[in-house]
Chains A and B, each alone.
Chain A
Amino acid sequence: MQKNHYIQLDGVNKSFSKGRESVDILKSFNLSINQGEFVAIMGPSGLGKSTLLHLIGGLDEPCDGTIKIGDVTLSGLSESERTKWRAHHVGFVFQAHHLIPVLTAQKNVELPLILTKLSAKDRQKHGLAALELVDMKERCKHYPSELSGGQEQRVAIARAIVSDPNLLLCDEPTGNLDRKTADDILRLLAELNQQFNKTVIMVTHDPKAAEYATRVIQLEQYLSQNSDNRMADSGYN
């Protein structure tokens, strides 16, 4: 009997048009991830790591194949349905924090909650709680320009988790940070994974970062070894 995975990609094809040519990024791609896993996806640039993350997060659509997250089949949803789904189920952390410069850390974190029915007071409470989780409560009134790179990334993580999503998608979250700050951020992601059972998928070039994951997928290897589309993950911890 087939095990029910939290994330299931079956026969996913994705290609981009570059001028007159069509470049295949993912071809008949299959992947399964369980709830509560911390997966690191590694590989050289241009292989499709970020594209894979975008497909899982519903930011982009596959040309073919199905993507199922929990009970929802993303490939069957319209763009507005995917947008609504993202609001409740996914948090994104990018290499650049993309915080809104005219809002304080707290207001940046509260931003996704505007879409909920929470009162202003409750939004504030949730925002502060998320900032406390990332150890940034004391800096809640600071503007992004008054924070260090690591602190900005912590705020971006708080923004990603404020609506309590099951899935955290991180695209090079430590790419702009020094080693010590990067380790702090990675520890934080691991904590969120272990203590709150968040499923974390992280794209990274950094082997040290991958050490925090419970599973590492070397995408280049994964694609070549599994040309018959059978999953073969390489365990790393």
Chain B
Amino acid sequence: MGTINLIWRNSVRNKIRFALTLLSVAIAFFLYTAYSGINTALTASVTEANQLRLNSSHKVSLTRGLPVSYKQKMRSIEGVTSVSYASWFGGYVKDETQQISVFAVDHESYFQMHPEYALDAEQLTRWQKQQTGILVGQKLADNFGWKVGDKVPISTSIWMNRDGHFTWFFTVSAIFQGNSPSVNDNQAFFHHQYFDEARAFGRYEANWFIPQIDKTANAAKVSLDIDAFFENAVEPTRTSTEQVFKKEQTQQFADMAMILRLAVIAVFFTLLLIVCNTMMQVIRERRRETAIMKTSGFSSSYLIILLFLESLLLFGSGAFLGGLVGFIALDQLQYLFSDFLPGISLSPNLFIEMALMIALGAIISSVFPAITLAASSITSDLGTQS
């Protein structure tokens, strides 16, 4: 009969209460794991944004195009070293329920400015030379079973081509992967030139430009210079750093994450009250047993340690259970949100954070019961005082 056995036996003494408390701990840790995974994606997409890239779109709306001729004009602004551009194509395969992310990009410059996509020189050259070629992310290729050389039809509900059809045909030139988990490989890129030549309207316009600057310190100045340059043009611009742009794009998710964070804090606070109350009940129920243990030579500090370990067991097993379910849920979320929020993953610090929360939870929930236990009198607890 060891201490561990005693802790375990005491913990599961009231099985229903143990199971319900364990469930509430598990739910709290599940929420924390889910929140942590989403937060990792949100912060990664913003913090991993290239500090040297700016984003310039129409002052009125991102959906309004800017002339592709702006590329040369922007290039002439001091501090800008190169410029690329891109447009949203949308896209779906076979029917509209199978939506995919497809972009038309300047084939000459786009990937030179976006090293986060893992492409070797041979793959890039092959794609650049193939006007109807499309670069497909590994996940997207896996989903549809696409291979290099396949001719793939991709439809769009926005862009009619000059033949009057909404289905465009591309040849898979290469398949790329991301250099980090936050890089979305569930998307595809094709030549903006092909896009301009083949679409029925909006030709030679791009949704956004990506000016690259010489040093990060110049970001604010160059942004202002670009917007000033086009201030009186028919299509004025609004320029910011890629980091700010991504922050704006993910703001909805960030708001959601904030709500989730507040919910998680509230849940944990409630949880502490629940577990603390449970431990107080435990102490009250075992008053006589505790007294008899004290008569047998168990000190109050020893009994408090037993109580703390019991609480630790509750938090630890709940965290394991909740964390495991959270991990499985994140895997599903990763797939569902891969287009909008790539990089949903467990932070390496999560385990340390959870360990600290388990310890802290166990300590806080044991404080009041420990005070009660230390202050209790053996004689009155035995109910035999004359």
**Given contact pairs A50-B385, A59-B378, a sample of 18 additional A-B residue pairs in the complex whose CB atoms are under 8 Å apart:** A25-B386, A45-B386, A47-B386, A50-B379, A54-B384, A59-B295, A80-B301, A83-B299, A86-B295, A86-B296, A87-B296, A92-B295, A94-B292, A94-B384, A98-B291, A103-B1, A111-B296, A171-B384
Stretch at the interface among A112-120, A207-215, A220-228: A112-120
Question: Hey, which chain A residues are within 8 Å of B300, CB to CB?
Answer: 83
A181 to chain B, nearest CB (A): 20
Flag whether A235 is at the interface (Cβ < 8 A). Answer: no
Q: Tell me if A80 and B384 are in contact (CB < 8 A).
A: no
| Chain A positions within 8 Å of B250 at CB level | none
- The answer to whether B295 touches A57, judged by C-beta atoms less than 8 angstroms apart, is yes
How distant is B378 from chain A, measured CB to nearest CB, in Å?
A: 5
Residues from chain B with a CB closer than 8 A to the CB of A51 are 379, 385-386
Minimum CB–CB distance from A60 to chain B (whole Å) comes to: 5
B10 at the interface (CB under 8 A from A): yes
Which residues of A32-60 are within 8 A (CB) of B? 45-51, 54, 57, 59-60
CB proximity to B under 8 Å, residues A179-223: none
Which B residues touch A92, using CB under 8 A? 292, 295-296
Sample of 30 A–B contacts (CB below 8 Å):
A25-B386, A47-B386, A48-B386, A51-B379, A54-B385, A57-B295, A59-B294, A59-B378, A80-B299, A83-B298, A87-B298, A92-B292, A94-B382, A95-B384, A96-B288, A98-B382, A100-B289, A102-B10, A102-B12, A103-B1, A107-B1, A107-B5, A111-B1, A111-B293, A113-B1, A114-B1, A115-B298, A120-B1, A124-B1, A163-B296
Binding site for A on B (CB under 8 A): 1-3, 5-6, 9-10, 12-13, 288-289, 291-302, 378-379, 382, 384-386
Report A176 CB to chain B, min CB distance, Å: 13
- B301 contact set on A, CB distance < 8 A: 80
Interface contact B386-A46, CB-CB below 8 Å = yes
Could you tell me which A residues sit within 8 Å of B by CB distance?
A: 16, 25, 45-51, 54, 57, 59-60, 80, 83-84, 86-88, 90, 92, 94-96, 98, 100-103, 106-107, 110-115, 120, 123-124, 127, 159, 163, 171
Residue of B nearest to A110 (CB): B1
Q: Is the CB of A112 within 8 A of B378?
A: no
The answer to whether B2 and A120 touch across the interface, beta carbons within 8 angstroms, is: yes
- Do A98 and B297 touch (CB < 8 A)? no
State the Cβ distance, A67 to closest chain B Cβ, in Å.
Answer: 15
Residue on B with the closest CB to A108? B1
- Known A-B contacts A102-B13, A110-B1; A50 and B6 likewise in contact (beta carbons under 8 Å): no
- Give bound CA distance, A50 to B291, whole Å: 15
- Are A114 and B3 closer than 8 Å at their CB atoms? yes
When A46-B386, A94-B382, A94-B384 are in contact, do A112 and B288 touch as well, CB less than 8 Å? no
* Chain A residues positioned under 8 Å from B298 (CB to CB): 83, 87, 115
A96–B1 Cα distance when bound, in Å, is: 23
B45 to chain A, nearest CB (A): 52
Query: Given A54-B379, A98-B288: A112 and B296 within 8 A (CB)?
Result: yes
The answer to whether A87 and B379 have CB atoms under 8 Å apart is: no
CB–CB B1/A60 < 8 A: no
4 interchain residue pairs of minimum CB distance = A87-B297, A112-B296, A110-B1, A98-B292
In the complex, A6 Cα to B293 Cα: how many Å?
25
User: What CA separation (Å) do A114 and B296 show in the bound complex?
Assistant: 10
The residue from B1, B6, B9, B289 contacting A98, defined by CB atoms under 8 A apart: B289
A contact residues around B386 at 8 Å (CB): 25, 45-51
A59 to B386 CA separation, bound complex (whole angstroms): 13
Minimal Cβ-Cβ distance residue in A for B288? A98
Q: Are A102 and B385 in contact (CB under 8 A)?
A: no
Docked CA distance A57–B196 (Å): 97
> A98–B298 Cα gap in the complex (Å)?
15
Identify which of B9, B293, B302, B386 gathers the most chain A CB atoms within 10 Å of its CB.
B386
Bound together, the chains give a CA A181 to CA B300 distance in angstroms of: 35
Give the docked Cα–Cα distance between A173 and B297 (Å): 20
Chain B residues whose C-beta falls within 8 Å of the C-beta of A115 in the assembled complex:
296-298, 302
The residue on B at minimum CB distance from A57 is B295
Residue among A47, A84, A95, A98 having the largest count of chain B Cβ atoms under 10 Å:
A98
Q: Report the Cα distance A113→B379, complex, angstroms.
A: 22
Q: Which residues of the other chain, B, contact A111 by a CB distance below 8 angstroms?
A: 1, 6, 293, 296
Name the distance in Å between A14's Cβ and chain B's nearest Cβ.
Answer: 10
CB distance from B12 to the nearest CB of A (A): 8
- A83: chain B residues at CB < 8 Å are 294, 297-300
Partner of A159, one of B2, B291, B296: B296
CA distance A86 to B297 in the complex (A): 5
- Taking CB atoms, residues of chain A closer than 8 Å to B291 are 98
- Taking a contact as CB atoms closer than 8 A, the residue among B3, B9, B288 that contacts A103 in the complex is B9
Q: Which residues of A contact B378 (CB under 8 A)?
A: 54, 59-60
Q: Which residue of B lies closest to A95 (CB)?
A: B384
Residue from the set B5, B293, B297, B302 with the largest chain A CB neighbour count within 10 Å: B297
Q: Which residue from chain A places its CB closest to the CB of B13 in the assembled complex? A: A102
List chain B residues, Cβ under 8 A from A112. 296-297
Are B384 and A50 in contact (CB-based, < 8 A)?
yes
Residue of A83, A84, A92 ringed by the most chain B CB atoms within 10 A: A83
Residues of A within 8 A of B12 (CB): 102
- Residues of B near A107 (CB, < 8 A) are 1, 5
Contact B6 A114 (CB under 8 A): yes
- Distance A80 CA – B9 CA, assembled complex (angstroms): 26
